[in-house]
Amino acid sequence: MLIDTYGRVATDLRVSLTDRCNLRCTYCMPEEGLSWLAKPDLLTDEEIVRLVRVAVTALGVTEVRFTGGEPLLRPGLVGIVQECAALEPRPQLSLTTNGIGLGRTAAALKEAGLDRVNVSLDTLRPEVFKTLTRRDRHQDVLAGLAAAHEAGLTPVKVNSVLMPGHNADEAPDLLAWAVAHDYELRFIEQMPLDAQHGWKREGMITAGDILASLRTRFTLTEEAGERGSAPAERWLVDGGPHRVGVIGSVTRPFCAACDRTRLTADGQIRTCLFASEETDLRAALRSGAPDEELARIWRQAMWGKKAGSGLDDPSFLQPQRPMSAIGG
């Protein structure tokens, strides 16, 4: 298993399939000037499947989420999903995507064995979408969401980041829309992971702000039971059955229950989104290491996982890699 010195066990693997993207969300990427990982440095489809196999068969990983960058830009995605779905024990497979192109691929992904999707959508207003993402693709995302639901990639979850001056007032509208479409909405606090290092704690929209805004229109009841390792605190909307989640990574961190391990598109293990160190699994892989050695390196990396994100530490330094290259 992937255990750390604080007794946490990582069973949830996030795999970044590419650092490239067809949007330029302001909280993630700069408008231009971000250089991409070099093609030879990227893990091949076969290398990704092999590392997922090691994680699932030797290290106790039970859930695999593909992300990026934009994972739908990876040509081999359907094949990767298919191979991972054939592993024993079969992991839960999900995808975090901006939804562009999902209209065309949702059915094939479901067929290949994908279980669920999270689609990122921050606004219901096409003009706000255009300024937030710097691309005019709102309609494509809505079409992608509908296709995912239709294909049975359910529950379809929607991730929204609220940004001051853009969509800060949209929480209740987004929730009403999500309930009407049977999507499960989760708000994510903006984190200091943008490539431009423009994040400021002052003025950021907090989990508390989001809940207060939602309560102007809905009755939210905290769900009974433990939050466990799930980052989202969830509330029943107007008595249920619909739920809404809020991921307060900055103001309500969940590090003590974290069960994640991460693999970047260039084969680096990250113990945390905010980690400043990485462990190079690609070098071992390409030098011919057997599975047992890859598993040993992974275990050792996770053993060194820090207690928390360090966000509240005055000496906190934003990681070198932006969110798009870590895999959110």
Q: Which member of 2, 10, 21, 52 binds ligand SF4 (CB under 6 A)? A: 21
Contact call for residue 167 and ligand SAM (CB under 6 A)? no
Shortest separation between residue 69's beta carbon and ligand SAM, angstroms: 6
Contact call for residue 29 and ligand SF4 (CB under 6 A)? yes
Contact call for residue 120 and ligand SAM (CB under 6 A)? yes
Query: Which residues fall within 8 angstroms of residue 189, CB to CB, at 6 or more apart?
Result: 161, 204, 205, 206, 207, 246, 247, 248, 249, 250, 251
Q: Could you say which of ligand SAM, ligand SF4, none residue 194 binds, taking C-beta under 5 to 8 angstroms by partner kind?
A: ligand SAM
Q: Which stretch binds ligand SAM (CB under 6 A): 21-29, 176-184, 210-218, 301-309?
A: 21-29
Shortest separation between residue 120's beta carbon and ligand SF4, angstroms: 6
DSSP 310: -
Alpha-carbon distance values, 68 to 190, 258, 262, 323 (Å): 17, 20, 11, 8
Residue in the structure block whose two tokens are 């990485």: 278
Beta carbon nearer to ligand SAM, 97 or 279? 97
Q: Could you say which of ligand SAM, ligand SF4, none residue 167 binds, taking C-beta under 5 to 8 angstroms by partner kind?
A: none
Q: Which member of 159, 213, 271, 309 binds ligand SAM (CB under 6 A)? A: 159
Shortest separation between residue 119's beta carbon and ligand SAM, angstroms: 7
User: 215-223: long-range contacts (C-beta < 8 A, 24 or more apart)?
Assistant: 216/172, 217/172, 217/175, 217/176, 218/172, 218/175, 218/244, 220/244
Binding mask 81-120 for ligand SF4 (x = CB under 6 A): -----------------x---------------------x
What does the alpha-carbon distance between residue 326 and residue 319 come to, in Å, rounded to a whole number?
9
Structure token digits, residue 160:
């929204």
Contact call for residue 188 and ligand SAM (CB under 6 A)? yes
What does the alpha-carbon distance between residue 193 and residue 203 come to, in Å, rounded to a whole number?
16
Buried-exposed string 8-25: b where 16+ CB fall within 10 A, e elsewhere: bbbbbbbbbbbbbbebbb
What residues between 45 and 104 interact with ligand SAM by CB under 6 A?
A: 67-68, 70, 96-98
Shortest separation between residue 178's beta carbon and ligand SAM, angstroms: 14
Q: For residue 290, which amino acid is it?
A: P
Under rule CB under 6 A, how many of the chain's residues touch ligand SAM? 20
What does the alpha-carbon distance between residue 283 and residue 268 come to, in Å, rounded to a whole number?
9
User: What count of other Cβ atoms lies within 10 Å of the Cβ of residue 164?
Assistant: 13
Under rule CB under 6 A, how many of the chain's residues touch ligand SF4? 12
Q: Which member of 69, 71, 245, 319 binds ligand SF4 (CB under 6 A)? A: 69
What does the alpha-carbon distance between residue 304 and residue 2 come to, in Å, rounded to a whole number?
11
Q: Which member of 109, 145, 175, 193 binds ligand SAM (CB under 6 A)? A: 193
What does the alpha-carbon distance between residue 68 and residue 98 come to, in Å, rounded to a whole number?
10
Q: Which member of 49, 148, 324, 326 binds ligand SF4 (CB under 6 A)? A: 324
Residue of 141, 15, 31 lying closest to 68 (CA atoms) = 15
Q: Could you say which of ligand SAM, ligand SF4, none residue 29 binds, taking C-beta under 5 to 8 angstroms by partner kind?
A: ligand SF4
Q: Could you say which of ligand SF4, ligand SAM, none residue 188 binds, taking C-beta under 5 to 8 angstroms by partner kind?
A: ligand SAM
Query: Which residues fall within 8 angstroms of residue 236, CB to CB, at 6 or more apart?
Result: 220, 221, 223, 242, 243
Contacting residues toward ligand SAM, per CB under 6 A: 21, 27-28, 67-68, 70, 96-98, 120, 159, 161, 188, 190-191, 193-194, 323-324, 328
Contacting residues toward ligand SF4, per CB under 6 A: 21, 23-25, 28-29, 68-70, 98, 120, 324
